């Protein structure tokens, strides 16, 4: 049986690529964390609920860490 990526899954992949670029980490490592479920209504692949929750929680932690870090200033 074939499945297509949903728009949500494609958007999630884009976010994972952006995260890798912003953090300077390997994009493939981020993509390996992606977990997908089959949406029964559309038969498309969507990010699993647990993956989405974990990703959003980790993103919040990164934002908090970035906001609390000392900015680099040029002299």
* Residue 46: count of CB within 10 angstroms of its CB: 19
pTM above 0.85, yes or no: no
Taking the C-alpha atoms of residue 58 and residue 37, their distance in angstroms, rounded to an integer, is 20
Position 75 in a domain: no
Give 24-59 pLDDT, tens digit per residue: 999 999 999 999 999 999 999 999 999 999 999 999
- Pairing type for strands 45-47 and 36-38 reads antiparallel
Count of structural domains, the chain: 1
Position 74 in a domain: no
pLDDT of residue 72: 65
- The mean predicted confidence, pLDDT, of the chain is 91
User: What percent of the chain stands above pLDDT 70?
Assistant: 92
Which among 34, 36, 42 is positioned nearest to 13, based on CA atoms?
A: 34
Position 19 in a domain: yes
């Amino acid at each position: 049986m074939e499945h297509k990526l949903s728009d949500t899954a494609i958007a999630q992949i884009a976010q994972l690529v952006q995260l890798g670029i912003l953090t300077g980490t390997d994009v493939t490592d981020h993509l390996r964390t992606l977990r997908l479920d089959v949406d029964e209504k559309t038969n498309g692949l969507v990010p699993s609920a647990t993956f989405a929750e974990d990703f959003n929680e980790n993103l919040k932690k990164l934002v908090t860490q970035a906001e609390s870090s000392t900015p680099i200033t040029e002299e």
